[in-house]
Structure 1
Amino acid sequence: MIRVGIIGCGRISDLHAQAYLEHPEAVITAVCDPVAENRDTRGAAWGVAGQARHADYRDLLARDDVDMVEILVPHHLHAQVALDAMDAGKHVSLQKPMSTSLADADAMIARAAGRDVVFKVFENFVFYPPVQRAKELVEAGEIGEIRGIRLKSNPGWSPTAWEVPAAASAWRIDPEQCGGGPLVFDDGHHKFAIAWHFLGLADRVHAFIGTSYDGLIDAPSLVSWTHPDGAVGSLEVVHSPELKLDTVHYAQDDRVEITGTKGVIWVTRGHGRMLNVAPVVLHRDGVTTGYDDMPTGWETSFIRSGRHFVDALLNGTPPALTGEQGREVLAFALAAQESARTGRAATPVRAPAER
Structure 2
Amino acid sequence: MTLNRKLRYGMVGGGPGAFIGAVHRTAAALDGMMELVAGAFSSNPEKSRQMGAELLLDPRRVYGSYQEMVEREAALPAGERIDFVAIVTPNHMHFPVAKAFIEAGFHVVCDKPMTTTLEDAEALCRLVARHGVVFALTHNYTGYPMVKQARAMVQAGEIGTVRKIVVEYPQGWLARPLEQEGNKQAAWRTDPKQAGAGALGDIGSHAENLARYITGLEMEALCADVHTFVEGRAIDDDVSMLIHYAGGARGILHATQVAVGEENNLNIRVYGTEGSLQWFQEHPNELYYRPFGQPARVLRRGNDYLTDIARHNTRLPSGHPEAFFEAFANIYRNAGRTIAARLTGTEPHPFDLDFPTVQDGAVGVHFILTALESGRRRAWVDARYTPPSE
Q: TM-score if structure 2 supplies the norm length? A: 0.79
Which residue is 2:377 aligned to?
A: 342
After superposition, the C-alpha distances for 1:150-193 in whole angstroms (9 at most, x for unaligned) are: 112121359xxxxx982232111112221111x22221111110
1:167: which partner in 2? Answer: 184
Who is 1:52 aligned against? 61
Q: Give 1:338's aligned amino acid.
A: E
User: Are the equivalent residues in 2 in contact too, given 1:149–1:233 (CA < 8 A)?
Assistant: yes
RMSD (Å), alpha carbons: 2.6
Q: Which runs of 5+ in 2 are unaligned?
A: 1-5, 175-180, 303-320, 343-347
1:253 match: secondary structure: coil
Give the 3 Å change call, closer, same or farther, for CA 319–46 of structure 1 in structure 2.
farther
Q: CA deviation at 1:309?
A: 0.7
Which one of 265, 268, 276 corresponds to residue 256 of structure 1? 268
Matched, 1:297 2:323: yes
CA contact (8 A) 2:285 2:322 kept: no
**Which one has a bigger Cα radius of gyration?**
2
CA–CA separation in structure 2 for the residues paired with 1:300 and 1:241? 27
Question: Equivalent residues in 2 for 1:71-86 (5 A)?
Answer: 71-86=87-102
Size of the aligned set, in residue pairs, is: 337
Q: Is the 8 A contact 1:75 1:179 kept in 2?
A: yes
- 1:1-355 equivalences under 5 Å are 1-9=6-14, 10-34=18-42, 35=44, 39=48, 43=52, 46-61=55-70, 62-63=72-73, 64=76, 65-156=81-172, 166-181=183-198, 183-197=199-213, 198-216=215-233, 218-239=236-257, 242-243=260-261, 251-268=263-280, 270=281, 272=282, 279-284=286-291, 285-294=293-302, 295-316=321-342, 317=348, 318=353, 320-348=355-383, 349-353=385-389
Bigger shift: residues 293-302 or 203-212? 293-302
Percent identity, aligned pairs only? 26
- Structure 1 segments of 4+ aligned residues over 6 angstroms from their partners: none
Residue 112 to residue 157, structure 1, CA distance change in 2 (3 Å):
closer
TM-fit CA distance, 1:8: 0.8
Kept after mapping to 2: 8 A contact 1:76/1:179: yes
Specify whether residues 309 and 45 from structure 1 end up closer, same or farther in structure 2 by C-alpha distance, changes over 3 A only: farther
Deviations 1:67-99, CA, capped at 9 Å, x for gaps: 110111111111111111112221111211111
Q: Deviations over 1:195-254 (max 9, x none)?
A: 2212332011110012213253734421121112011111123455541x5xxxxx3211
What amino acid is the match of 2:24? H
Task: Note the C-alpha offset of 1:134.
Answer: 1.6
Once the 2 structures are TM-superposed, how far is the Cα of residue 280 of structure 1 from its aligned partner?
1.4
Moved more, 84-93 or 314-323: 314-323
The letter of the residue matching 1:53 is: V
What is the alpha-carbon distance in structure 1 between the residues aligned to residue 368 and residue 216 of structure 2? 15
User: How far apart, in 1, do the equivalents of 2:339 and 2:211 lie?
Assistant: 27
Normalising by structure 1, we get a TM-score of 0.86
Tell me the CA shift for residue 48 of structure 1. Answer: 2.4
| Separation in 2, partners of 1:44, 1:140 | 50
Verify the 8 A CA contact 1:207 1:337 in the aligned structure 2: yes
Aligned mates of 1:202, 1:98 — CA distance in 2: 19
